[in-house]
């Protein structure tokens, strides 16, 4: 049953349930909070009026009853005061608010940095695709795409957290906390997987590098653009790291001596040079270094290197993979500290976000009067 009554230039719609015929009044003034209309006390006795008010008061719930009677205590019991739409006014809340804004900004910078690094790796002269061809595995390319994806996700998460703090929305802050927690867990799991399987991955990468170097370095560069890219990259890598070959030292068959087994070396009818010029010190004698000039030592003789041989000071004798590993180990402290600091900052930010989310009232609640 429904009826319409006049209310200062407005219309009020009365509803009554068929079971109890107890009226439920709602008056809408263009916003989403229903108000209790005036009740005609002439038609209702005091018992019905008291029952109706008790029912509406009980439906508010614990938090609604506190808000109605002017009690501003929150779930943490720290005496926060809220005015308007869940506005935060105490000093503790302000600290949490600005701390979360700062944390969201740090996450935004980290996401932008990872995204830019991933794009740079893909688009550089020796990008992820070229390096993957040299390594003979897609791990480097996958890592580049992972950086881009992680950076993009961090940008979206940081915006969600910033909007949640500014709008004081529990829903947005909850989404920020959940997304960042999942991302941290995924990164930690990926780090554990890499650490556990690093031995197998290292062996696979070394084997792939050897196969690529033997079969594709310096072979038919005119008609095979991939081989030309691989050759240019190996030459650049050996000059920059001052290395030669894949792995090992002066007595290894996979460092400077690996070129004797390559298709590049077999293409010379004279059997010289033994190594490319990129394996040589640019300030030294290139002919002695490459073996074009007869020399009682590397690279024309050996391995192994014996006491009757002369050392070749112009030749790089250490493998490039070993030089890369040494470079990473040299900066391992910086890399480790940066990774741990990033995780700690994320955990602290998550704690601040949880506290702030709990101190903000729900986005929707109803008042009885």
3-state secondary structure 180-240: HHHHHHHHHHHHHHHHHCHHHHHHHHHHHHHHHHHHHCCCCCCCCHHHHHHHHHHHHHHHH
The pLDDT, as a whole number, for residue 127 is 62
What's the pTM? 0.59
**Helices 170-196/139-167 angle, 10° precision:** 160
- In order of 9, 60, 130, 145, the CA distances from 141 in angstroms are 69, 56, 9, 6
CA 31 to chain centre: 41
Could you count the other beta carbons within 10 Å of the beta carbon of residue 134?
23
The pLDDT, as a whole number, for residue 10 is 43
pLDDT, one tens digit per residue, over 37-47 is: 544 444 545 55
The pLDDT, as a whole number, for residue 129 is 67
Contacts of residue 137, defined as CB under 8 A and 6 or more positions apart, other chains included, come to 204, 205, 208
Pairwise CA distance, residues 29 & 210, whole Å: 78
The pLDDT, as a whole number, for residue 276 is 94
pLDDT, one tens digit per residue, over 151-184 is: 898 899 989 888 888 888 888 888 889 988 888 8
- Mean pLDDT by groups of 10 residues along the chain of 369 residues: 44 44 44 47 54 56 47 40 45 83 89 86 68 70 84 90 87 88 85 79 86 91 85 91 92 92 88 90 91 87 85 91 82 74 83 84 45
Structural tokens at position 198: 């690093």
Residue at token pair 């070229």:
130
| Neighbouring C-alpha atoms within 13 Å toward the C-beta of 40 | 7
Using CA atoms in the order 345, 346, 351, 353, what is the torsion angle rounded to 10 degrees? 110
The pLDDT, as a whole number, for residue 54 is 61
């Amino acid at each position: 049953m429904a009826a319409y009554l006049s209310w200062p230039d407005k219309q009020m719609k009365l509803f009554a349930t068929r079971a109890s015929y107890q009226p439920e009044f709602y008056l809408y003034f263009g916003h989403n909070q229903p108000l209790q209309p005036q009740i005609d006390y002439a038609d209702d006795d005091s018992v019905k009026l008291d029952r109706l008010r008790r029912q509406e008061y009980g439906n508010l719930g614990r938090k609604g009853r506190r808000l109605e009677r002017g009690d501003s205590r929150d779930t943490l019991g720290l005496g926060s005061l809220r005015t308007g739409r869940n506005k935060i006014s105490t000093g503790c809340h302000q600290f949490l608010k600005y701390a979360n804004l700062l944390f969201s900004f740090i996450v935004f910078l980290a996401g932008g940095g990872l995204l830019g690094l991933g794009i740079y790796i893909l688009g550089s002269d020796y990008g992820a695709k070229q390096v993957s061809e040299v390594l003979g595995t897609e791990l480097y390319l996958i890592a580049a795409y992972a950086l881009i994806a992680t950076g993009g996700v961090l940008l979206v998460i940081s915006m969600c957290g910033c909007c949640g703090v500014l709008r004081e929305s529990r829903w947005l802050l909850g989404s920020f906390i959940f997304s960042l927690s999942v991302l941290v867990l995924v990164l930690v799991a990926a780090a554990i997987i890499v650490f556990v399987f690093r031995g197998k991955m290292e062996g696979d990468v070394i084997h792939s590098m050897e196969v690529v170097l033997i079969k594709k370095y310096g072979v038919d560069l005119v008609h095979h653009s991939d081989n030309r890219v691989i050759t240019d990259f190996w030459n650049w890598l050996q000059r920059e790291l001052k290395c030669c070959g894949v792995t090992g030292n002066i007595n290894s068959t996979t460092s400077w001596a690996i070129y004797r087994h390559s298709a590049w070396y077999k293409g010379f009818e004279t059997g010289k040079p033994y190594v490319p010029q990129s394996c040589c010190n640019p300030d030294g004698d290139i002919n002695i270094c490459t073996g074009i000039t007869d020399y009682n030592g590397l690279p024309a003789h050996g391995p192994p290197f014996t006491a009757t041989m002369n050392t070749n000071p112009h030749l790089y004798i250490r493998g490039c993979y070993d030089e890369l590993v040494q470079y990473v180990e040299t900066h391992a402290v910086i890399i480790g500290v940066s990774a741990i600091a990033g995780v700690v900052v994320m955990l602290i930010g998550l704690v601040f976000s949880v506290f702030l989310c709990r101190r903000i009232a729900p986005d929707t609640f109803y008042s009885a009067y």
